[in-house]
Homo-oligomer: A and B are copies of this chain.
Amino acid sequence: MAVEKYSRQRESIRKNLAGRRDHPTADMVYLDIRKEFPNISLGTVYRNLSLLAQLGEIQKISVSDGPDRFDGRTKPHDHFFCKECGCVLDFQLTDTDNRLQRQAGKGFEGRIDGQTVQFFGVCPDCLKKQTGKVHVSNENYIL
């Protein structure tokens, strides 16, 4: 695979991911793209998701209990995994990146290129269903 050539399908996949925040699986993307390209195959979706991830234009997120999920956000950020509904939310931790990397790298003779924090718990919606509490906005959680 030498030079990348344009393809309508890949462009559609790229836009689809850029326009959503729900960290879909390959299959979810496939179902969506089929509305525009009824004949697209799941294999093509997988191929393009892999390619885009390699190019750093999207991010692949592996979770322990289901298929991989994909994230259209390019800039580094963190993720929250809800153990109730399985949803994945974005977090942006302010200013901790350098601190973390500096602390971890101190005396480590390998090279650290990047890092992400994975949070686990119960998302606002699921917690609300359990307790009846109200959901308010906050500064780290990115809608």
A99's nearest neighbour on chain B, judged by CB, is: B96
Q: For residues 90 through 143 of chain A, which have their beta carbon under 8 Å from a beta carbon of chain B? A: 91, 93-94, 96, 99-101, 103-104, 106-124, 126-128, 133-141
Nearest chain B CB to A58's CB is how many angstroms away?
Answer: 12
- Contact residues in B for A61 (Cβ distance below 8 Å): 64
**Contact (A115, B117) CB under 8 Å given A93-B100, A107-B136, A109-B135:** yes
- Contact residues in B for A138 (Cβ distance below 8 Å): 106-109
The count of chain A contact residues (Cβ–Cβ below 8 Å) is 51
- Determine the distance from Cα of A122 to Cα of B107 in the docked complex, in whole angstroms: 14
Interface, chain A (partner B; CB < 8 A): 60-64, 68, 78, 80, 82-83, 89, 91, 93-94, 96, 99-101, 103-104, 106-124, 126-128, 133-141
16 A-B pairs in the complex with CB atoms less than 8 angstroms apart: A62-B63, A80-B104, A80-B110, A91-B104, A93-B100, A94-B103, A96-B99, A96-B100, A104-B117, A107-B136, A107-B137, A107-B139, A107-B140, A108-B141, A114-B121, A117-B118
